[in-house]
Amino acid sequence: MTITSNPHRTLVVGNWKLHLNTSQASLLLHRLQERIKIYRDIEVVIAPSMLVLQPLSVQIDRRKFRLAAQNAFHKDTGAYTGEVSFAMLQDIVHYAIIGHSERRIYFNESLEMIREKVASAVRNGITPILCVGETKQENRAGETKQVLHDQITTALADLTSTEVKKIVIAYEPVWAISTFGGELAKPDDVQKRMDFIRKQILDLYGKRVADTVRILYGGSVDQDIAGGYLSIEGCDGVLVGGASTNYQKFSGIVDTAYRLRYGGGN
C-alpha cells in the first residue's frame, strides 16, 4: 500500500447547484451511499440545495459523507426576508461553499460580501470552502495573480491565523467551470496557481498555516480527468459541479482519489 506524501485527507466535494428536488436528491444520496465505501483518508462532501439539506442530514451516513451549504447569509438573524443564515445551518452542515463564481457573477457578490460570509461561517463553526479564480479576460490580460491575491486577502481579512488554518480554498478558473465554457485547464498551469495561492497564505500567515490549509481544484472535473488534477503536488482534492449529480461519475472520482492514495484497485 503506497500512501502519497499528501498529509491531508483528500477532499472530494460535489456541488449539486440548482438541481434535484427532494426525492431526486434522496435517491442520488441513496445510490452514492451504496456505491461509496468508508475511506479513512478521503473525505466526501455533498452540497445539495438549501431545501434538501435538512432531509439529507437525516438520511446521510456520516461515516461516509459530510454536508455543505452552497451559500448562506452573513447576518445570524434579523429582518432579512428570504435568507438563511450560517447560524441556522450550524447543526446541519460541516462546510459552506463561499464565493463561487456563479454567485460572484450572477448575484453580484462583492469581495466584501464574501469576506462577511467567510467570517460568519467561521463564527458559526462552519468551514468555508472559499472559491477563487480569474475570468478568461483577466487571464488573457495577465491579471490572474492580482485577482487571486485580492480575492484571498479580502476574504480572509477578518480571520485569525488559527482560523485560516482550517479553511479550504478551491482554485476554480471561471473559464474552466462548465457553466462558463468548461475549457479544460492544464494540470501544470493549475499547479502554478496553487503554488501561488499557498505562497500568499505563507506570506500572510506563515509556514504552519500554509502547510495546513487545504487547496482544491475545480473546473469541469469528471472521472476521466480527475487523476490529472489530484496528482498535482499540493492539491488536496477537487470541487465537482456537473459530474457530481451523476452517481457513477462522482463515485468514479472518489475511486480515482482512492487509487492515487493507495495504488492499485479498490
Q: List residues with catalytic annotation.
A: 100, 172
Nearer to ligand PEP, 205 or 229 (CB): 229
Environment class of 110 (CB within 10 Å of its CB; exposed 0-12, middle 13-18, buried 19+): exposed
220 binds ligand PEP (CB under 6 A): yes
- Closest residue (Cβ) to ligand PEP? 241
Nearer to ligand PEP, 11 or 209 (CB): 11
Question: Which one of 20, 87, 201, 221 is in contact with ligand PEP (CB under 6 A)?
Answer: 221
Reference 167, options 242, 117, 105; nearest CA is 117
Shortest separation between residue 178's beta carbon and ligand PEP, angstroms: 3
Nearer to ligand PEP, 103 or 165 (CB): 103
Reference 1, options 266, 262, 265, 231; nearest CA is 262
178 binds ligand PEP (CB under 6 A): yes
Measured distance CA(235)–CA(227) in Å, rounded? 11
Give the count of residues interacting with ligand PEP (CB under 6 A).
14
256 binds ligand PEP (CB under 6 A): no
Contact 49, 15 (CB under 8 A): no
78-107 residues in contact with ligand PEP (CB under 6 A) are 100
Helix ranges restricted to H, the chain: 22-35, 50-59, 86-89, 101-106, 111-123, 136-140, 144-156, 161-166, 187-205, 207-212, 226-230, 247-262
Site string for ligand PEP, 134-173 (x = CB under 6 A): --------------------------------------x-
φ, ψ of residue 258 in degrees (nearest 5): -65, -50
Shortest separation between residue 214's beta carbon and ligand PEP, angstroms: 15
241 binds ligand PEP (CB under 6 A): yes
User: What one-letter code names the amino acid at 58?
Assistant: V
Instruction: Using DSSP, state whether 43 is helix, strand or coil.
Output: strand
* Binding-site ranges for ligand PEP (CB under 6 A): 15, 100, 172, 177-178, 182, 218-221, 239-242
